[in-house]
């Protein structure tokens, strides 16, 4: 009985991935959504510590992300804030900040 329960819990974990609703977004040009904390913010680069992004195979990490030219960044966002990042692929094929949404 214990074994059956464990299998059930595992199947639930697979059935409800945190980012499942975005699974195909890296292929159709729309944004990938991830939570992260802003370490520093500049006009061209934002340094963030972001959660894992399973749909593009990224672990949690601290990194610089380029700010896309048309990025929408909430006015009240600053260093130390935990925010929702919308990542989009730039013309160079690298992911960058498409938008930062504050809580
Ligand atoms: Cu990263």
Query: Is this prediction's pTM over 0.85?
Result: no
* Cα 21 to ligand 1 centre (Å): 20
* Cα 63 to ligand 1 centre (Å): 5
* Cα 49 to ligand 1 centre (Å): 7
* Cα 16 to ligand 1 centre (Å): 23
In a domain, 81, yes or no: yes
CATH assignment at residue 70: 2.40.50.320
pLDDT tens digits, 33-72: 999 999 999 999 999 999 999 989 999 999 999 999 989 9
- Token reading at 18: 């945190």
* Cα 60 to ligand 1 centre (Å): 6
* Cα 8 to ligand 1 centre (Å): 32
Q: Report the alpha-carbon distance of residue 3 to residue 1 in Å, rounded.
A: 5
In a domain, 15, yes or no: no
Q: How many domains does the chain have?
A: 1
String of b and e for 59-75 (b: at least 16 CB within 10 Å)?
A: eeeeeebebbeebebee
As a dihedral over the C-alpha atoms of residue 20, residue 93, residue 103, residue 77, rounded to 10 degrees, the angle is 170
């Amino acid at each position: 009985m214990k074994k059956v329960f464990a299998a059930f819990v595992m199947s639930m974990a697979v059935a409800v991935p945190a980012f499942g609703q975005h699974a195909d977004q890296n292929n159709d040009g729309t944004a990938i959504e991830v939570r992260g904390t802003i370490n520093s913010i500049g006009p061209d680069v934002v340094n963030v510590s972001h959660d894992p992004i399973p749909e593009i195979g990224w672990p949690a990490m601290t990194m610089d992300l380029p700010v896309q030219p048309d990025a929408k960044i909430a006015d009240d966002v600053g260093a130390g804030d935990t925010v929702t990042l919308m990542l989009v692929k730039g013309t160079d094929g690298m992911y960058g900040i498409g938008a930062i949404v504050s809580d």
